[in-house]
């Protein structure tokens, strides 16, 4: 196959990948989009095979390795529970990162194969591209591992900070740049290894200071990095499909990070610098005991909801933790039977990754046209009888609108307090991630339901 024809095929798979993302503009077209993505990938792999034309023993090995990886991936894809989706995505990012590192290493050790020159005499441009690809890939790899451990709960979600952390990161970042510079001057193997090692370290250090609820930003950011790493390798290998894909994925992750930051009204840098939501905010909790709180049981809640004409459900991370999405759907079914109008309101940063709540509700067979985004539904709270807050906290806190001193001031929130009554399912009065008290707990129209989200929802269903 001629190089030109090959390039055209890569272009076609690039276009198919664009269509795959395009399909996600609505659930109707999304499945078709995914199919485009699969076809694009198949084309890229098959034409690469054919272009090599080496159908000897090596080919057999290749198929074996492909099968090992493929069956492992398929196994994971079918077994993984939907609640574990954030850590799965983080884990997958780490694999892309490591694969980029490996390909870069391979190109560095054997540049002839990729037409990049010869060992010790690699083209300068290719050296820069492959070192950048390897470095970003390495950061993606270890960063995603840390994100995975935090999301999985194998590592505390609390931010880990120490003095001079940011300077250390800056120093490490600069040293990578310097090393790449010297690598171009004297092509010493050890310099290349150092670049990768330092980048591994940098990945760890970048993610440990970032706390649990900032994970939506982190995971989108790592998504973006994995794209840039792929693009770097794409430049090295002069491969259009990789360049297009890298650019798509890179900008996709960047946009998601932006949306997540905006959902929290925080700058990207303040999230990256981390340390938010530590345990040092005791000052705000001192007046907790003085304010009266109304608490109720499943019976009261059922009574309120049964007599309501419209109910809005506000799910949050707590719903994912308690795996309450199915119980919730059953409750809603019971409500609908008695003629109550029910809709769901999703805050952009609810959960641990973009769209986390939507996937869980979809898993519980909630039709997606009953689920609304913040801007779509926020005005409806004023006309709704009951808001059922399950596992959400900070995203409903009216303080964000009223108190300029508050750390979450300016964050867009769901106007839950405007509804006639609020049912707040929570284990205790403890503050949410931002470490601040929720004003909503003490409102006249709020009824606290102290229990596990799933248990409470099931009990309410029984009482309906």
Partner 1 sequence: MEIDPFIFRLSIFILSIFIGYYVVWSVTPSLHTPLMSVTNAISSVIIVGAIIASLAGNSETIFNSSNIFGFLAIVLAAVNIFGGFLVTQRMLAMYKKKKKDK
Q: Which stretch binds partner 1 (CB under 8 A): 57-65, 165-173, 204-212, 436-444?
A: 57-65
Q: How far is the CB of 183 from partner 1 (least distance, A)?
A: 18
Tell me how far apart the alpha carbons of residues 246 and 249 are, in angstroms, rounded to a whole number.
5
Q: Which residue has the tokens 């099968």?
A: 67
Active site residue 299: no
**69-77, 161-169, 264-272, 456-464 -> range binding partner 1 (CB under 8 A):** 69-77
- Cβ pair 432, 440 in contact under 8 A: no
Q: Closest CB to partner 1 among 17 and 441?
A: 17
- Quote the least distance from Cβ 223 to partner 1, whole Å: 6
Q: Which of residues 109-128 bind partner 1 (CB under 8 A)?
A: 109-110, 112-114, 125
Q: Spot the catalytic one: 214, 394, 437, 459.
A: 394
Piece in contact with partner 1 (CB under 8 A), picked from 162-170, 365-373, 423-431, 450-458: 365-373
Euclidean distance between CA atoms 226 and 258, whole angstroms:
17
Least distance between partner 1 and beta carbon 109 (Å): 4
* Residue 257 near partner 1 by CB under 8 A: no
CA distances from residue 15 to 12, 19, 28, 230, 366 in whole angstroms, order as listed: 5, 6, 20, 16, 33
Q: Lay out the site mask for partner 1 across 334-353 (x = CB under 8 A, - = otherwise).
A: --x---------x-x----x
Q: Determine if 18 is a binding residue for partner 1 (CB under 8 A).
A: yes
Exactly one of 12, 41, 155, 204 binds partner 1 (CB under 8 A); which one?
A: 41
Residues, the chain: 464
Of the pair 27, 278, the CB lying nearest partner 1 is at 27
Which 367-426 positions form the footprint of partner 1 (CB under 8 A)?
Answer: 367-371, 373
Q: Does 70 bind partner 1 (CB under 8 A)?
A: yes
Q: Out of 12, 105, 201, 204, point to the residue binding partner 1 (CB under 8 A).
A: 105
Q: Report whether 140 contacts 229 (CB < 8 A).
A: yes
DSSP assigned state of 348: T
Alpha-carbon span 15 to 37, nearest angstrom? 9
What DSSP string describes 130-154?
HHHHHHHHHHHHHHHHHHHHHHHTS
Task: Name residues contacting partner 1, limited to 198-237 (CB under 8 A).
Answer: 219-220, 223, 226-227, 230-231, 233-237
Helix ranges (DSSP H) in 163-239:
165-185, 189-207, 215-237
Cα 310 off chain centre by: 32
CB of 99 to partner 1, least distance (A): 4
Q: Where are the alpha helices (DSSP H) in 323-448?
A: 325-337, 356-363, 374-377, 399-402
Which uninterrupted H or E stretch holds 446? strand 446-450
Q: How far is the CB of 171 from partner 1 (least distance, A)?
A: 29
Alpha carbons 105 and 135: distance in angstroms, whole number:
11
Return the residue of 5, 177, 188, 255 that touches partner 1, per CB under 8 A: 255
Q: Rule CB under 8 A: is residue 246 a binding residue for partner 1?
A: yes
- Exactly one of 3, 5, 8, 52 binds partner 1 (CB under 8 A); that residue is 52
Quick one: CA dihedral 324, 446, 333, 86, positive or negative? negative
Q: Which of 2, 4, 78, 339 binds partner 1 (CB under 8 A)?
A: 78
Kindly state the DSSP code that residue 390 receives in the 8-state scheme: E
Rounded to an integer, what distance in angstroms lies between the CA atom of residue 246 and that of residue 240? 10
Rounded to a whole number of angstroms, the minimum distance from the CB of residue 433 to partner 1 is 20
| Residue 178 in the binding site for partner 1 (CB under 8 A) | no
Q: Does residue 24 bind partner 1 (CB under 8 A)?
A: yes
State in angstroms the smallest separation of the CB of 117 from partner 1.
Answer: 14
Choose the binding region for partner 1 from 81-89, 146-154, 166-174, 449-457 (rule: CB under 8 A). 81-89
| Binding-site member from 8, 177, 185, 251 for partner 1 (CB under 8 A) | 251
Nearer to partner 1, 72 or 170 (CB): 72
Distance between CA atoms of 327 and 461, rounded to whole angstroms? 8
List all residues 6 or more positions away from 260 whose beta carbon is below 8 Å from its beta carbon. Answer: 216, 217, 220, 348, 349, 354
Are 86 and 219 a contacting pair, CB within 8 Å?
yes
Q: Which residues are the active-site residues?
A: 394
């Amino acid at each position: 196959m001629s190089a030109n024809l090959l390039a055209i095929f890569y272009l076609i798979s690039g276009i198919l990948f664009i269509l795959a993302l395009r399909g996600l503009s609505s659930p109707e077209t999304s499945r078709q989009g995914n199919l485009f993505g699969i076809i694009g990938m198949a084309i890229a792999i098959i034409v690469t095979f054919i272009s090599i034309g080496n159908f000897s023993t090596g080919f057999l090995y290749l198929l074996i390795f492909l099968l090992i990886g493929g069956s492992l991936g398929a196994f994971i894809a079918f077994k993984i529970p939907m609640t574990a989706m954030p850590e799965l995505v983080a884990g997958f990012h780490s694999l892309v990162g490591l694969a980029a590192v490996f390909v870069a290493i391979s190109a560095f050790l054997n540049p002839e194969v990729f037409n990049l020159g010869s060992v010790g005499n690699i083209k300068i441009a290719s050296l820069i591209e492959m070192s950048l690809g390897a470095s970003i890939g390495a950061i993606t790899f270890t960063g995603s591992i840390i994100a995975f451990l935090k999301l999985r709960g194998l590592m505390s979600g609390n931010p880990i900070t120490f003095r001079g952390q940011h300077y250390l990161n800056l120093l490490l970042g600069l040293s990578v740049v310097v090393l790449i510079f010297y690598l171009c001057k004297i092509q010493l193997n050890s310099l290349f290894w150092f670049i990768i090692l330092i980048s591994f370290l940098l990945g760890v250090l970048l993610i440990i200071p970032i706390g649990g609820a900032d994970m939506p930003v982190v995971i989108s950011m790592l998504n973006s990095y994995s794209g840039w790493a792929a693009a770097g390798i794409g430049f090295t290998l002069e491969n259009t499909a990789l360049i297009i894909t890298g650019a798509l994925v890179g900008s996709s992750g960047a946009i998601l990070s932006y949306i997540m930051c905006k959902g929290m009204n925080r700058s990207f840098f303040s999230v990256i610098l981390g340390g938010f939501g530590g345990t040092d905010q005791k000052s705000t909790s001192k007046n907790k005991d003085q304010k009266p709180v109304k608490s109720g049981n499943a019976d009261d809640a059922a009574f309120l909801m049964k007599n309501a004409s419209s109910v809005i459900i506000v799910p949050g991370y707590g719903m994912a933790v308690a795996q309450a999405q199915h119980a919730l759907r059953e409750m809603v079914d019971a409500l609908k039977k008695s003629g109550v109008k029910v809709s769901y309101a999703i805050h952009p940063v609810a959960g641990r990754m973009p769209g986390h709540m939507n996937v869980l509700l979809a898993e519980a067979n909630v039709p997606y046209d009953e689920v609304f985004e913040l801007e779509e539904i926020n005005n409806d709270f004023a006309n709704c009888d009951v808001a059922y807050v399950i596992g959400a906290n900070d995203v409903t806190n009216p303080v964000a609108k009223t108190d300029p001193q508050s750390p979450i001031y300016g964050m867009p929130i769901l106007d839950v307090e405007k509804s006639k009554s609020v049912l707040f399912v929570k284990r205790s009065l403890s503050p949410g991630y931002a470490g601040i008290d929720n004003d909503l707990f003490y409102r006249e129209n709020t009824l606290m339901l102290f229990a596990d989200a799933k248990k409470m929802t099931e009990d309410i269903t029984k009482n309906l």
